[in-house]
A and B are shown apart, each in its own frame.
Chain A
């Protein structure tokens, strides 16, 4: 018996044993709480985002009094320390010792991939409202890893490329952090933009945590392009936006950002230097949709800040899971039914103010907002929608099968059409 055969048969055996044990578990479970394991970086480089992820989840659970489908909800929070090894170890602890029926969270792609790989073996439902790696809902889909209220990295930059063409931009340069998330977002824009006749003049890839952007800004200023697309997260985004302004590029060349570059987590500490940056996203905190308005107002009242992508996504993600659980009467123990229910659930009443459903690959279909950062009456900056692309698929207008035959976006493959 080789290893693969052994794995197969032992999985089958475990499944049979599990099914046999089911009646007993079901009886017990109906009385016990629903246990949700939340993995989030509370320490490490992205700790502030991690803290907001917790806030988002708690904000929702408090609004339903920690009750879903008549059952009590127990939230177990673990720190993944922005580190894949720790994330894996904590995921194991939550599932194997903490008896959590599902996992949700993680922020950095490498932590999410580590956990996704783990739950591939255990079958534990794992929800990823933040992890954006394209292939988790494309080429390497795992059924029990579902992107509730999340997005795949290139999903918003496809329509953004189209929007750039409509602005009459002919030449664009991109600058991005040198890792998968950046490659995928830039690739989405580059492919649609060049296929529509635009030209990507140059692409800069810099290491994460680049303290000084001046060398790049000097080169960007010399390029004579119609717009610059910046794919930056966290402190890199803060610095890039600020240095872009101090080197006098702001006002000369329009700055376009990935959604995370102008997220609240970045712009809440910035001033006029972030004014007027355009980005594409599913969520715009400055939308005048009444549901969005209400969410932002309540969140701000409670936590003293405008919700970021992290707070919003986790809030909506856990809401999605809760709505699915309501439909199956809270029977979280019946994994297959639970996963099916989540996949079929259409999210209503989320801060997006629109019903959202998943595509056949477990990725949500959104109305993509083209947003602009503007000053609010009280002097704070936020993202306000300018226009929107309804019902955007992660495959844009391509046929999913054909699209997935092309390689995933990387530094070497950006989908750029040769002129």
Chain B
């Protein structure tokens, strides 16, 4: 029992990332009808927003402290971050410590800007082109983004720590009445899950309860009629693209402490997220979220030792096996709508 709970928890953080990326992919697909292969790159750029802010905050200048010496006997050089100098040791240090959560604020305008630029500059010209062309051009864009990041940040993963307060682990089992130290779960992953839940809830609420969301949903159902009613649906869809980019970026920002960002993390996630979208059903938002969590949890179950000894290698392929089975038995995915992407 405890092992099962542990695996479910383990699956949740990866599942949250899949769900967030898949949500953005589905939003773009449902509104603009574009298959966006650059979405993983947006996730990666989000993670690098966190890296950037972390680096900016830790920018420091060197002073020589004549009272102390280093091990060679020379006067010790002390590095002081500018922030500490400006805001005093306490506020400065905690700002640096909280760099990752703060980069949420920093990344939202950046991601929305990138989203707008992408949609207006490139994707706009591909509405009428076949899906293959859309896949190919966004694939090219993903390569470009990836290489730019690699050029400026290097090819190695960059450690981006979570704030001190979240660095430990929670003994989750005790809360449920198990023995101590059976179910240990890092705080940050819990935070990630809660964050993902809030974002997903926010997006759904935005679509469900605001006038803007209503218009967007109407546009997803029948773009032409909404346009005939005198509503500028293109503008709203562009905003949705920016929103989807922001969701992917936020997923990346918060993922940075879990897995040190490197330039190809987006591509690794993209392939899986596409599988998630297809399993959930192309164009279905709840489907994308459900499939994200489902596949994340399944993946972590498959990496249990008992299961691995029964079916060796299953942890490597479980997601793909599930995808193949679902695509062949339920052609529209778990919650796919009729008439979406059926040719």
Chain B associates with chain A: no
Which residue numbers of A lie inside 8 Å of B, CB to CB? none
